[in-house]
Amino acid sequence: MSTHTNEAPQASFAHGPFRVLRTLGEGGYAKALAAQDIPSNSLMCIKVFQKDNLKHKSTALSILKELGVYRRLASAMPCPATKFLMGLELSFQTKNEICLAMDLMANDLCHLMMSRSSYCFEHACRWTVQIAIGINALHELGIIHRDIKAENILIDIRENVRIADFGLSHLAAGARPLDRQGAYSTSVVGTPYCMAPEILSNISNPGSMTYGPPVDWWALGCVVYQLVSPNHKARFASSFAAILLIQSFQPLFITQHDTLTYVAWCTNRGRTHRQFSSFQIFKGIFGDLVCGLLDPSPSSRYGFREVSGHESFLFACGTSEFSNAHSNAVKRSEVPESLPDLRCDLEKARVLQRLAPWERPRVPNIDWFKPV
């Protein structure tokens, strides 16, 4: 007996148990499962961590950090900008696992860039706007993502962006707007090809550079370059061996050395004197946007104000892609066929059951439901 659901009911009030339909992907310490909330038939993505992995301090901290971000997002005042951030429906545990349940997405940007580059180019402007709005919403709530990259940009059933994976985020003490030039952390976290220079400087000289929100805008610049560069081919690489390790959607900077070489070029020549060769592939003013986001100096790097007012997003009528971005996103039609193929043998499907309050072993501070 098999099932294939063409509709994606809202995940509101999903409490489980959950029928596992298929594995969506696996990482170092977690896997993502497509599942169905049995009482409501809602389609969900469940991120599963093995409790055995909690012996690794970094894994335990990452889970708690991710839960902290989701809880802050859920407790914030309703804001249209959070439409572009992944939300958590509930977190629970089984005997051997910790599970985070959220809406099922259609795809991630990394996969789409590899498989449908022309489709990505078609939506690049709208998606860039949505990512920028999402990043700004995080900063307004005292959160620095620190791992903005194509793999963590998910696309939902209406072809809108959701920024996800908050396990490496910096969570400031209060849910207050961050100071754009504030110093919040010296930790070396993130993915090397999207790491800002101020983070990389702490690798060779730990604690030498305290950084803040601009690291997320640098990472956005890296994503935008991948998204709109012709054929998604790298124009900058330090070694042939490094190129072989990267898929066809190659990023601008593959290694730490690439980034630091670019920084040195900017320091010697200055952004206003000559455009970096890799940016010359962009027609018109889009190169200026990427160049501004990839300014090595955090103090002059483009932030939300500069991005939201940039000419790249202006229509001929004078309005901007940022105007009514949320309402336009909500109005988009669902594309059910974009969801993963969920056909499976229901009789053999595994069911994830929440651990009862009296059952052990139980990890503290895990079980949570999104406030109604």
Q: What is the per-residue pLDDT across 222-279, written as a single tens digit (0 to 9) for each?
A: 999 988 876 544 444 444 434 344 445 678 888 888 898 899 888 886 554 456 777 7
**What was the pLDDT predicted at 268?**
81
**What was the pLDDT predicted at 265?**
87
In angstroms, rounded to a whole number, what is the distance separating the alpha carbons of residues 232 and 90? 37
Q: Could you tell me which residues are beta bridge partners of residue 37?
A: 18
Please say whether the beta carbons of 146 and 169 come within 8 A.
Answer: yes
User: Residue ranges of the chain with pLDDT lower than 70?
Assistant: 1-13, 230-249, 269-275, 283-284
pLDDT digits (tens, 9 = 90+) for 163-180: 999 999 999 998 899 999
- The three-point CA angle 105-124-160 to 5° equals 25
**What was the pLDDT predicted at 270?**
54
Q: Which of 91, 118, 114 is nearest to 102 (CA)?
A: 91
**What was the pLDDT predicted at 101?**
97
Domains of the chain in start order, with CATH, are: 14-105+345-354 (3.30.200.20), 107-330 (1.10.510.10)
**What was the pLDDT predicted at 342?**
86
